[in-house]
Structures are given as structure tokens and as C-alpha cells.
Amino acid sequence: MSKRKPTDASPEDSALPRREFLGAAAGAMLTTLAGCGDDGASQAGTTGDDTEGDTELPPETSSTSGDGSESSTGMSPDVPDDPVPGLPWDPAAIQESTEVFPRTPMAGEMKPTSFLIAGHVATGDDVTVRVWQPGEIEGEVYLAFEQAVTPDENGFFKQPVEALTGGEWYAYGLFAGDPDAGFSTRSLLGRVRTALPEGSLEPVRIAIAACIGRSGILPEYVEPDETQPAAPWESMLRAAEQEYDVFIHLGDQGYLDRIYDAGGSYAQYLTAWGVLHGGGYRDVYPRSGLHFTWDDHEVTNNGSVDPWTTDRTELERIANARQAYYTVMPTDADDPAAQPLWRSFRWGDTVEFIVLDCRSERQEPESGVYLGEAQFQFLLDRLRDSPCHFKCIVNSVPFSRLNLPSGGVGDILVNPEDRWEGYVTQRAELQAFVDENDLRNILWVTGDVHMCFVGQVDGSPTTPGESMWEVCVTSGNTNPLASDVPPGQFPWASQYPHVPVIEFNPETDSVHVDFVALDGTISESRDLQLG
């Protein structure tokens, strides 16, 4: 195999033409990729500390979860000590098999020198994970990583990929058969960019999604016995046409309410994720790495089950749903009871993505506890201590005071007790912390309420905490109450699905937002000054 040597070239020297990367590396999908050769590494991990990433591959691959604990695959990838010439290899020439690989491989946990792949093998057989970059000669690749993996009893695995270079694009795929014989079949091929290295102030672009459905007030539920892949979704087709470094899903990735109602077993939830990830997400998830959080419909509608239930049957179904989510998603955690979903990722000095879990820790609204004590302190610490120019809070439910009346269409969507707005104490404490520390350049991104908007978190703001901006997205389901949000606070809002594409640019000290409509046009384009 061959491994590409980390480059010391400038971005201009090392960048690939945006539509040549996978063409050169795999002869496959049209691309919008760019390489970045900035040297150095930073810890973009889960606790947000300033530990430098290790550029040498350890004997046993390991990484850190949201609670600071380490997890390991117990396998040492076959990476040579010294780079060797490019490998003659055309991954796209290998036949893709949706029977062996029916689900979409996903990349997540992007850091300057690593990322993680989550995969599934329907046969349960051992497969090979390969990660590569284009070679200097057409028809050759630099093989950055190769590892034989053994799936679990349900066919799932997670594989850390390490010893990479910050800010560069890599292609990846899963391959069945004998490597020496050229493999027999492969999965869908994907691509991922490692996080920018420490010190980089390069702009970072993201696309965000939430609430995937079929453009109705009621969501599209997955049937308990459904095994055929979900149909493509227009919003994901549009997202796949955009250029971005990271795709962020803010929750309600699937509407699994009927799975819960049908018994909510672990096996049922795993099957449902196969329907979802074998369908519309195939258009967009292979195009970049993911950062993500969950909301309620990954389990069931929080309006139909008491979130603070003590019923043993309900608790078991909730636990099954959460375990299935941890199994299928590329998160460096395996146990929802012990390893939290919340974490943060630094992309150079440009932006830190602070990923929250706004569902599993909240208590009754009168308690004022929306986030658990450790998570809330983590959020405050990252906002104050992050060295990044921008702080982007990845948050499933709006922080904004929407000033909508309760009742009417989709009551649960406008109930303030289902949002930060209903947890007055913690919301006020966070805003006071922002004011006391004079924190600026904070952007919230959110979903849940089935509308798109851009606005400030409070009307008539007078302090930094009241002046923070928020971008909300719906990717499928709609809410006509979007027309009732106050226009003075929200200069643009829509009940219809869009693809928000957001660029963080430290040089201009601004955040640019485009809302791409389902017909491909831009409904709203706006520059936000967050300071």
C-alpha cells in the first residue's frame, strides 16, 4: 500500500481543482473538493482543550469520547513508516454491491489528523476499509489508510482513521473480497475533509439539515416492517449540489414514531435506520464528513410520551432507540448511558462547533434544567475559552424567543416549554454569562420547529446575549406559523424546506448565509455581523 507524506505546501500549491478529486482518486462522483496544505494540528476534540493532535499513529488506534474516556478498536492499521510510490488502483472500477453494502457509509468526528467511519456489512463478513488521495499520475492513488474490520453480530462497525493531515480531503470506501485479487465488490464511495489545523483562518462552509419529511405538516414516518430504501428527498438532492466542508444534521434525522409504537425493539430501530440511510441520505452523506445531534423523533414524538417517564416499558424503548442511534452514527461513543453525545470540534482558529444534546438531559420546565450541569458548564467553558474566531452552537431546538402563541396548527411545534424559551433560568444564565464576558461572534444553528428563519434570539436586543443570531432549518416538513414570527426580530422566515449554506469568514469578520430553495434558487442571501 502507499501513504501520502504530509505536505508543507501552501493552500494554493496543494489545492486540487474542485471537480477533479474523486475523478482522479476513484473515477467516481462529480466533486467540489479543495485540499489545504496548512501544516500543524490541533485538538478539535470533545473537551475543547488545546492538546495538540498526535501526528504519529499509535500502536492501537484510540480516540476520545464526550466524557473524556478513550475507546479503542484493538486493531493496528497497516500503515507503512515511509511513503512509497502511488498505487495503481481504480476504486470505481470495482462493482458496487447494495446487497453487501445496502447502507450509506458515513464519516464523522473530524479532527486535524483523524476522522471516524461508521459502516455496515449485510453479510457480516470481514471487509477492508481504505482511505486514499489522488496520486500524481492518473490511475494511481496514495493510500493513506487500510484496515481489515470485523462487523458486530448485526453487521455494524466503527473504524478510526488516524495519522492524516489537517484541512485535506480524503476519499474512503468499504471493500469485500481479497485485496490481493483486487476485491470483488465495494460500498458507495465517500469523501471527507479533516478539520483545519491550529492557526488556520481559512473560511469554513457548512450545510445544515433537520426534520426530514415530505413537505407536509405531519411528518413521514418509517413503517415498522418497511425494508425498502426511502425515496430521495429534494432537499438532500439540492444539498448534494452545494460546496461545503461539513454537513451538520440538527435532529429528527428520521421519524421513527411508528417503530416505537410497534414495540420499539433494538432490532426494529436498526432496521428503520437501514431504510433511511439506504435511501435519501445516499445523495448527501458521502459528500463530506458529518457533525450531528439528535432530537425527539429519533426515538418518538416527545408529545406522545412523557419525557420524564418512569414506565419500564417506555424506558426500555427509549434506551433501544438511543443505542441504535449510537450504533449506526459515526460518533466516537458506544454507550448512551455513559458517553454523552455533546462534544466540540475546532476547525483551525476559524470556528468551533459546539454540539449539544438538548433532549436527553432536560427535566420538567419548572426545574429550569434544560441541559445537565456538566453539559451546561461545558457550553459556557467553550464559549469563553475557545480560541476560534467564531463559535457555532449545534442545537436541535431553537434558543430564540419565537414569540408565537401556543395552540393552533401543530401545537407541539409552538409550545415554548419544548424550547430554551420555556427554561427561563438556564436561558437567562447563559445570556448573562455572554454579557459578563463580552462574548461575540456566536451563531446558533437549529431545527425542530419545521420552519426556516434567520434572526436574533431576542427582539429589540441591547446586550451581546440578546443580540446573538440563530439560523433555523427544516429540510422537509413545513409549518405555516413561520409567517407569524415577528419580522423585526427575524428579517427572513419561510415555512418551506431549504438548504442553508453558511460560510464563516474570519477575514471579513462575517458569516454569510444562503437559503437554497428546492428548485435550486436562493430565497435569501445575507451577511451577518455577529460581533
What number is the average pLDDT over the span 265-270? Answer: 97
Here the cell at position 54 is: 498526535
Q: Are residues 184 and 211 located together in one domain of the fold?
A: no
Binning the chain into helix, strand and coil, the percentages to the nearest 5 are 20, 25, 55
Q: Are residues 165 and 270 located together in one domain of the fold?
A: no
Q: Is the pLDDT of residue 65 over 60?
A: no
Which of the four pLDDT bands, split at 50, 70 and 90, describes residue 216? low
Domain boundary among 129, 164, 193: 193
What number is the average pLDDT over the span 94-105? Answer: 96
469-472 and 452-456 beta bridge pairing: antiparallel
Q: Which domain holds residue 60?
A: 11-193
Residues 108 and 103: their CA atoms lie apart, in Å, by 16
Does some domain include residue 200?
no
Residues 452 and 215: their CA atoms lie apart, in Å, by 13
Which of the four pLDDT bands, split at 50, 70 and 90, describes residue 17? very low
Residues 7 and 3: their CA atoms lie apart, in Å, by 12
Does some domain include residue 41?
yes
Here the cell at position 432 is: 448573562
Does some domain include residue 5?
no
Question: Whose grid coordinates read 473538493?
Answer: 33
Q: Are residues 400 and 359 located together in one domain of the fold?
A: yes
What number is the average pLDDT over the span 122-134? Answer: 97
Here the cell at position 24 is: 482522479
Q: Is the pLDDT of residue 340 over 70?
A: yes
Does some domain include residue 364?
yes
In angstroms, how far apart are the furthest CA atoms of the chain?
67
Identify residue 76 by its one-letter amino acid code: S
Q: Are residues 185 and 210 located together in one domain of the fold?
A: no
Does some domain include residue 3?
no
Task: Give the per-residue pLDDT at 406.
Answer: 60
The predicted-structure confidence for 358-377, as pLDDT tens digits, reads as follows 999 999 888 889 999 999 99
- Total tally of structural domains belonging to the chain: 2
Q: Are 197 and 40 in contact (CB under 8 A)?
A: yes
Who has greater pLDDT, 49 or 154?
154
Which of the four pLDDT bands, split at 50, 70 and 90, describes residue 514? very high
Q: Are residues 161 and 246 located together in one domain of the fold?
A: no
Task: Give the per-residue pLDDT at 70.
Answer: 38
Task: Give the per-residue pLDDT at 213.
Answer: 75
Domain boundary among 150, 166, 193: 193
Which of the four pLDDT bands, split at 50, 70 and 90, describes residue 124? very high
Q: Are residues 214 and 91 located together in one domain of the fold?
A: no
Q: Is the pLDDT of residue 67 over 50?
A: no
Which of the four pLDDT bands, split at 50, 70 and 90, describes residue 290? very high
Whole-number Cα distances in Å, 194 to 28, 113, 123, 328, 346 = 20, 7, 30, 21, 11
Lowest mean pLDDT among 37-46, 259-268, 332-341: 37-46
Q: Is the pLDDT of residue 45 over 90?
A: no
- Percent of the chain, pLDDT > 90? 72
Who has greater pLDDT, 525 or 409?
525
Predicted TM-score (pTM) of this structure: 0.86
What number is the average pLDDT over the span 141-153? Answer: 97
Q: Are residues 160 and 210 located together in one domain of the fold?
A: no
Which of the four pLDDT bands, split at 50, 70 and 90, describes residue 3? very low
Instruction: Give Cβ neighbours of residue 409 (< 8 Å, ≥ 6 apart).
Output: 217, 479, 480, 481
Q: Is the pLDDT of residue 506 over 90?
A: yes
Q: Are residues 189 and 225 located together in one domain of the fold?
A: no
Q: Are residues 21 and 67 located together in one domain of the fold?
A: yes
- For residue 106, the domain's CATH number is 2.60.40.10
Q: Are 166 and 113 in contact (CB under 8 A)?
A: yes
The predicted-structure confidence for 420-451, as pLDDT tens digits, reads as follows 999 999 999 999 999 999 999 999 999 999 99
Q: Are 471 and 513 in contact (CB under 8 A)?
A: yes
Q: Are residues 168 and 232 located together in one domain of the fold?
A: no
What number is the average pLDDT over the span 464-481? Answer: 95
Lowest mean pLDDT among 72-76, 184-188, 297-301: 72-76
Q: Is the pLDDT of residue 44 over 80?
A: no
What number is the average pLDDT over the span 267-288? Answer: 94
Task: Give the per-residue pLDDT at 221.
Answer: 85
Task: Give the per-residue pLDDT at 6.
Answer: 37
Q: Are residues 92 and 213 located together in one domain of the fold?
A: no
Domain boundary among 159, 193, 227: 193
Q: Is the pLDDT of residue 499 over 80?
A: yes
Does some domain include residue 250?
yes
Residues 213 and 478: their CA atoms lie apart, in Å, by 9
Q: Are 488 and 509 in contact (CB under 8 A)?
A: no
Q: What is the mean pLDDT of the chain?
A: 85
What number is the average pLDDT over the span 173-194? Answer: 97
Q: Are residues 182 and 268 located together in one domain of the fold?
A: no
Task: Give the per-residue pLDDT at 85.
Answer: 61
Does some domain include residue 97?
yes
Residues 134 and 222: their CA atoms lie apart, in Å, by 39
Does some domain include residue 51?
yes
